[in-house]
Structure formats: C-alpha cells, structure tokens
Amino acid sequence: MERFPARGEIVDSVDTVRPSNAEERDARTARNGGAPTLEFGRRVPYDSYVHASTLHTLQRTLSGDPGEMSFLVVSQIMELYFKLIRHELEQARDHVRADEVWLAVAPLKRAALHLEGLNAAWQTLRWMTPADFNKFRDMLGEGSGFQSAMYRQVEFLLGLRTRSLMRPFKGTAAYEELTAALHQPSLWDEVIALLARHGFPVQSELLSRDVTDEHEADPSVSDAWVKVYRDTGPDNHLRLLGEALTEVADRFGDWRYLHLKAVQRTMGAKSGTGGSNGLAFLQRSMSRPVFPELWTSRTEM
C-alpha cells in the first residue's frame, strides 16, 4: 500500500508527473487539513506538467522599449493557439475520414473556441500606435508573422494551399512537416469525400484531384450542402457537422480581419518586415474563402 508523505514532508518531484487517483487526492486533502501541499523536491509538479519555467525563459526582447514585451508575448501566445487549433482540426479530419461524423463535431467546436481565444489576443495590442511599433520594429529585421510554419499548417488543414509559401522553410524540420501536411487531404477534402460516401452526387474529379492544389468551389458540393440543410431532422449529423465547420470558418475569417486591422492600426500601408506589401497582401489573402461551398450554398437554402 502506498505511503503518503506526512504533512510538511518534502516530496521529491521529478520531471515526469506521477498520476494520482481520487482516493489519493482525498487522502492528501485530509492529511493537509484542507490546505494545499507546500513542500516539494527538485521541481514543483505543476512545472513538471506545464513547463512554465521553460516558457518564461523564451521572452527575449531585442530593444530597450518596454512595449516590445507585449508584442513578443502575444506573438508566442498566438503560436501556441495555432498549434492547438491544428491539433483539433487534425482530430476532426481523422474522424471525418473514418465516417465518425458525430465525433468530428466536438473538436471542431473546440477549434472555434480556440480561435476566439486567438482573436482576443489582438485586443491586448490595441494600445500600439505607429510610433510605439516604430520603437522596436527595426530590431525585427526580416522577421514576420508571415513566416509562421504552424500557421501555414493550419491553413493547409483548412484547404488554403499555396506551395510557394513553404519556400522560407527549406532546409528546416518545419519544411518536412509542411511537405507532409501538403500531401495529405485537407479537412475540407475529407468532408467532400464524406458527402460522396453518403450518396450525394459530388463531381468524381474532386475525389481524385491533386490535393496539393487549393480546392476551388464546385457547384456539386454546394448542391450537396443544400440537400443536407433541407433535412432538419434531429439525427442529421451532417447538418451539425456543417454548422461546426461554418463556425470554424467564421472565426478564422475574424482572425484575418483582426490581423488586417492590427496592421492597419500600427503601420498603415507601409512595406512589411518580411518583404510583402503588408496591408495589400493581407487584403488579397482575405479573398480566399475557407470551406467555400458552405457559403455559396446558403444562397439556395
């Protein structure tokens, strides 16, 4: 039988977290008299799990301006959200591929909520004027959010695919990961294949096309969604899937708009640090819809 440390006894915590169960937690609470455990060994269990001490070493500003810390931390928060959103979209894609329509809805709903968190991060940079940004902008060199490999993975999963945008990562592990992601069907590709398996007359060419190319809206897919939405029965899981996908696309559209507004607010139409024409480049990117037939089908619904 496990021996619990006495109250006040130092617990030697290693880098891995030791799982516990409800009985152990109740026993620990009784032993501590309701107070939290305050003594540990080499590492606090929370840090063993979250690695907060590592995270807090990654904010290395390059200028003496105090506002740069906000820009850097928010950028890192966004990177973590990109990873979380990628995780959820991969889960949803795998469920759709396996015909598990109901199971695909939950990760899509989570992804939409994560996108809300991602979008909220822009609010904490609303204090930044062009003068504020100019205090440390030169220190960024050619660094740009355009070069986020994790964001590109999110775009690839959503069906937004431009091979040339992989070129900045040549010679890196990120390039190999992006190449692998590009050659896998996107979430939307898998949704179209799912519609075909459910008997909707989707153009056969869509099921055998080169998935490394960006999907273009097709009337047969739009017609399929019209039929899906006309079935208002409680067991129509495809309709629920469509709404979950719509929420993701909607929130991703919010991300693009807020990104554009943040750029417009802090630098106007100046050239971007990464070599693009900044605002104009973002405006063009917004013209590429995510899950396009979910939007075109609404005209006929």
- Supply the mean pLDDT for the chain: 90
The string of pLDDT tens digits covering residues 218-254 is 999 999 999 999 999 989 999 999 999 999 999 999 9
Residue 61 annotated as lining a ligand binding site:
no
CA angle 242, 210, 178 (to 5 degrees): 80
pLDDT at 126: 94
What are the structural domains, with CATH classification, of the chain?
1-57 (no CATH), 68-299 (1.20.58.480)
Residue 56 annotated as lining a ligand binding site:
no
> In which band, very low, low, confident or very high, does the pLDDT at 18 lie, cut at 50, 70 and 90?
confident
Please, are residues 136 and 115 in contact by the beta-carbon 8 Å criterion? no
Q: Region 67-80: what's the mean pLDDT?
A: 96
Q: Region 82-92: what's the mean pLDDT?
A: 98
Please, are residues 115 and 252 in contact by the beta-carbon 8 Å criterion? yes
Q: Region 17-44: what's the mean pLDDT?
A: 89
CA-CA-CA-CA dihedral for 194, 199, 200, 206, to nearest 10: 50
pLDDT at 229: 97
pLDDT > 70 in the chain, percent: 92
Residue 232 annotated as lining a ligand binding site:
no
> In which band, very low, low, confident or very high, does the pLDDT at 276 lie, cut at 50, 70 and 90?
low
